[in-house]
Amino acid sequence: MNHLQTIEYADNRVLTTQQLAEVYETSVDNIKMNFKRNKDRFTEGKHYYMLKGDELRDFKNKVTGSYSVPRNVNALILWTEKGADRHCKILDTDKAWEQFDNLEETYFRVKERAMIPVEGLSTEMQALLMHDRKLTEQDKRITALENNEKISSGQKRDIRRAVNAAVISACGGEETTVYRKHSQKIYKAIYGFLYTYFDISEYADIPRTRFTDATERIKEWYPSCELKLFIEKVNGYGQQEIDWSEMDA
């Protein structure tokens, strides 16, 4: 990830489609196709920036380093951290999840931290600085303890309800063929997503401090392209019996 050229737009670090494809070890065409199929899941200005006209010309002039925008390009998409996250969910591969974690740590959230030298400060300032550092360490320990607390029984119930709602929505309703015959496949996909996202083995291990994050993630969840195709085909074929055992969620 260290070789990734830093590109910024609107004071945010962004990635081109080419960079995103390389990081996730997929093709540019696959990224474009996933975007086209799930465009309603992306919001311009939040998940991506679309550069055209003067904005694109200005960007071409500002970009330096190993990356350059081809002259014949008349429109360019730049993906934000949220956009990269969304593509990761759509791809839903082990490599994509691994690489997105790396992107968060080594690209999107990298901040230069200025180290304050203690030497040369007055005794009073040194004392204040040391006191501040002790408070910071204390806050970290308290936060660590809070993060180890798991969700309550009531929150577990809310998680199950949210998952149920997400499954019904993904299936197209409780009366659909896929819900009646294959809902467990969708449940498995959602819980698998939660296990991967929170690095846990069961949903009861979700940290209490991240309960809101969990419910929001469940609401935002949607099937991978493969699972979406599975749902559409099952619902489309209705009562016909089809062997989908080889398809994994």
End-to-end CA distance of the chain: give it in Å, rounded: 28
Other CB atoms within a 10 A radius of the CB of residue 203 amount to 20
Any idea where the domains of the chain sit in the sequence?
5-106, 151-236
Q: What is the CATH number of domain 5-106?
A: 3.10.260
Q: What is the pLDDT of residue 78?
A: 95
Beta-sheet strand order (sheet of 48-52): 7-9, 12-16, 75-79, 48-52
CA angle 222, 228, 230 (to 5 degrees): 145
* 150-189 residue pLDDT tens: 899 999 999 999 999 999 999 999 999 999 999 999 999 9
Give residue 193's pLDDT band: very low, low, confident or very high (50, 70, 90): very high
Residue of 35, 34, 84, 91 whose CA lies nearest to 224:
91
> Please, which pLDDT band fits residue 138 given cuts at 50, 70 and 90?
low
Question: pLDDT-derived band of residue 112, with 50, 70 and 90 as boundaries?
Answer: very low
pLDDT in tens, 27-55: 999 999 999 988 888 999 999 999 998 88
Category of 12 on φ-ψ map: left (φ > 0), alpha (ψ -120 to 50) or beta? beta
pLDDT value, residue 190: 96
The alpha helices in 118-247, defined as continuous H runs, are: 123-148, 153-171, 177-198, 211-220, 225-237
Residue 249 has pLDDT above 60, yes or no: no
pLDDT for residue 227: 94
